[in-house]
Structures are given as structure tokens and as C-alpha cells.
Structure 1
Amino acid sequence: MMRQVVRRSHQRWPWLRWAAIGVLGMGMVSLPGIAQFPPTTPIFEQVTLSPGRDFRDDPIVLEGVSGGSIPARQVAGRLDTPTGACLGFVERAPDYVLTLTDFFDYLSLRISSPEDTTLVVRGPGGSWCNDDYAGSKNPGLVGQWLAGTYEIWVGSYRDRAYHPYQIQLSQIH
């Protein structure tokens, strides 16, 4: 089975890109404005999917780097969700923005990384967190998904610890 892999050039320290933008913009923006990033501007990319037709190659694979300095609970707006506790540290901006054009009767979003990672997803209906899905050290969310826009953060347990990861999106049960 062939997998679609979306590769992004990413830095070892993803926050460095934002710091450079802030330094370049200092003459145009006040210092408090530099720290405030638009919540829907992803670090890696925006992805739009429709049930069936966008899954010729299943799973769809996205790559990134986990971690940051913002507590995941702060991004999620809560300590705990029905899918798990909001643990770890993430960047202020989401790693990915996922737009689902229609209702998904089943969609799995699973993280694969050599290190222990955490997950925050914010979208229609609220926020969901997870850190260990199906007995693995990596997170995942599986089930029905409403149409709409979802912000996805992949975190690390330690502040400013960065690890490579893959997001696998699948419609196969």
C-alpha cells in the first residue's frame, strides 16, 4: 500500500522562526504585540480533507516537530478532557490547521514519534487532549469528526524539548 507523505522543511527549533519574525518586525510592532500570534496560523501547514476522495492513499502522513514552552492545558483551556489530560508543552501557534469539509463518520488521528508526545486538538465542539493512545507512548484521537476547522498541537513532556513526529490520518477502522 502506498502512503502519501507530506514533508515540510522544519527547523530543529521551530520557535526560532517566530523569534526572527519578531526581531525583524520590532520597528513596526510594539513589544507586547510580538508575543501574540494569530491562533489559526499553523507552524507547518494548513490541510483540507473531504471524506473518501482525499484518501486515495490511506493513511495521509504529515510531519513536524513536537514541543514548545506553553503548557498544553493553557492552549486547551482546561486541565482534562473526555479523551485525556492536557499534558506537556506546545508552541503558541498550532502545528497544523486541519479543515474537514464534511462530517467524518470515522477518522483516526494518531501520532508516531520516537519520543513520548502529547496532543491537543481544538475545533468544533471544544478541545480534546491525549497522551497515550491504545497502549502506546504516543497520542491519538479516533471517532466521528464534525465538519469544520481543527487546530492541532503535538507537545513534549518537557518544556522546550523538541522531537520529530508524524501525524497519520486514516479512514480505515
Structure 2
Amino acid sequence: MFHRLFSYLAPGLALGLVGSAFASPVQAQAVIQGGGSIFEDVRLSPSFSPVIVRGISGGTTSATRLTDRSETDTGPCLGFVDSQPDHRMELTSAFAFLSLQVQSTEDTTLVVRGPGGVWCNDNYSLDFNPGMAGEWLPGLYEIWVGSHRVNRFYPYIIEISETPDAQTESSQFSLP
């Protein structure tokens, strides 16, 4: 994750360091556009308000290799991810409905591993953003957001919600 964060922030940090050589001393700060932390973990109980987590997609590990499969019930295992999950999500009890939807300006992929197996998705919504929705078992889930090309890193958000919308109602699934 550090490599993705560094490559995303490096151009701005380098410019700031060069500029500081010609100015009075200042304290350097890395600011993520849109604010907030990245690579957050969440613990969710029923009746929560929708949650948004942020990160930067991509890595060097193929999603197919990570999951040991090319396809799941929720979609193909495509793209490249980090060797470690981007987020961990703990569900304190079963959810009759839960939705994860990735939003990015670039084409991303999604891998979720948790109780009962592993699930992948590429184009969940009408555009190129991945997601999944349906019944979820209690337990710990690991979440990866990938990029279609190796070592391509794109900022994203994941919206986690208990509220179905028109898109999620038509593409629900049940986790075993």
C-alpha cells in the first residue's frame, strides 16, 4: 500500500520539496484530495448509517492468482491488487442486505474474501465501477480494489450501505 500511496503523492511531494529549497522553511504535509484517511477498516452492526472508505487501487498481484479462480458467482476475477487487503470489514451479525459499491474515475475491480468464500466483480454498475450486494454472514471480510493494468494506481471510494437502490435490487446475490 505504501508504494501505491507514494506513487500517487510523489509528484506533488517532489514539487513541494524543490520549492522549499528556494523558500523559507515550512512544515510538509501530504493532503489527500477530498480529505479523510485512506485504507480504513470498518466494524459494522445492523442499522448503521452508510459508510465511505477511501483508498488507491492496484498492485502487482493478479486477482486470479490471489483468489485461485478466474470467475465467481458475482463476476470475473480481473486486474491487479496489492498482496495485502486494502480494507478489512468486520460484520458483527448477519445482514439480510449489504451493498459495497466502488466509485473511481478509472476502471477498477473488486475482490472480497470472507466467511464462506471469495467473490470478485468488474463492472457492477452501468459504468466501469465494481460492486456487490446481497446477504452477508457475520465475520471478517478482506477487501481489495484492483486496477486492470499492473502498477496502475487510482483513487477510489467504497460506499457500504444497508439500503438497496434500483441498481442493487436487480443484482443481489446470497453468500453461502
2:94 corresponds to 1:103? yes
Q: Is 1:12–1:65's contact at 8 Å kept on the other side of the alignment?
A: no
Q: CA deviation at 1:12?
A: 4.0
**What is the TM-score when the length of structure 1 is the normalising length?**
0.73
- Matching residue of 2:42: 47
Letter in 1 for 2:73: P
Count of residue correspondences: 133
1:13 to 7, 13, 16: 7
Q: Report the 3-state secondary structure (helix = DSSP H, G, I; strand = E; otherwise coil) of the residue aligned with 2:41.
A: strand
Q: Is 2:39–2:53's contact at 8 Å kept on the other side of the alignment?
A: no
Structure 2 regions of 5+ residues with no counterpart? 11-37, 165-176
Letter in 2 for 1:70: T
- Matching residue of 2:150: 159
Structure 1 regions of 5+ residues with no counterpart? 1-9, 17-42
Moved over 6 A (4+): none
Q: CA deviation at 1:135?
A: 1.9
Q: Is 2:78–2:122's contact at 8 Å kept on the other side of the alignment?
A: yes
Q: Is 2:40–2:54's contact at 8 Å kept on the other side of the alignment?
A: no
Q: Report the 3-state secondary structure (helix = DSSP H, G, I; strand = E; otherwise coil) of the residue aligned with 2:7.
A: coil
CA–CA distance in structure 2, aligned partners of residues 131 and 162 of structure 1: 16
Q: Report the 3-state secondary structure (helix = DSSP H, G, I; strand = E; otherwise coil) of the residue aligned with 1:73.
A: helix
* Bigger fraction of residues in helix: 2
CA–CA distance in structure 2, aligned partners of residues 168 and 123 of structure 1: 18
State the identity %. 50
CA–CA distance in structure 2, aligned partners of residues 162 and 12 of structure 1: 10
Structure number, greater radius of gyration: 2
Q: Is 1:109–1:170's contact at 8 Å kept on the other side of the alignment?
A: yes
**What is the TM-score when the length of structure 2 is the normalising length?**
0.72
CA–CA distance in structure 2, aligned partners of residues 134 and 117 of structure 1: 12
Q: CA deviation at 1:44?
A: 1.9
